[in-house]
Amino acid sequence: QVQLVESGGGLVQAGGSLRLSCAASGRTFSRYAMGWFRQAPGKEREFVAAISWSGGSTYADSLKGRFTISRDNAKNMVYLQMNSLKPEDTAVYYCACKYGALGSYRELRYDYWGQGTQVTVSS
pLDDT digits (tens, 9 = 90+) for 47-79: 999 999 889 999 999 998 999 999 999 999 999
Neighbour-count burial of 22, counting CB atoms closer than 10 A to its CB (0-12 exposed, 13-18 middle, 19+ buried): buried
Pairing of β 10-13 and β 117-122: parallel
CA distances 97 to 40, 42, 57, 102, 123, Å, are: 20, 24, 14, 10, 32
Distance CA(49)–CA(64), nearest Å, equals 9
Residue ranges of the chain with per-residue pLDDT less than 70: none
For the chain, state the CA radius of gyration.
13
- With CA atoms as reference, report the closest residue to 63 among 43, 45, 86: 86
Residue 16, C-beta contacts closer than 8 angstroms, at least 6 positions apart: 85, 121
Alpha-helical regions (H) of 1-123: none
- pLDDT of res. 100: 85
